[in-house]
Amino acid sequence: MAYEAGPTGFGLARALAVQGIRCEVAAPSKLQRPSGGRVKTDARDAMHLARLLRLDEVTSVRVPSVAQEAARDMVM
């Protein structure tokens, strides 16, 4: 599965990893967007992510540990 990195953090990716489920956290700025696809909907985003994941075209970000994420949040 895949989801776009965002303000919710990496808790979902960590929880899925514990369950043995592969989860790619996609870098939103690196996702190839279809031309003319300016209308943003959750359904379109989900289909687009699924297609990219199937084609192995998702540029993933590294999921930091809980301690690393807490340190980053404290510094910011």
Q: What is the pLDDT of residues 23-75, one digit of tens each?
A: 999 988 887 776 766 667 788 888 888 999 999 988 899 999 989 888 988 88
Give dist(CA 59, CA 25) in Å, integer. Answer: 8
Give dist(CA 46, CA 73) in Å, integer. Answer: 28
Q: Which one-letter amino acid corresponds to residue 52?
A: L
**Domain residue spans of the chain:** 2-75
Cα distances from 65 to residues 29, 70, 72, 73, in angstroms, run: 22, 9, 11, 12
- Per-residue pLDDT of 48-58, as tens digits, reads 889 999 999 88
Neighbours of 56 (CB within 10 A): 7
The pTM for the full model equals: 0.74
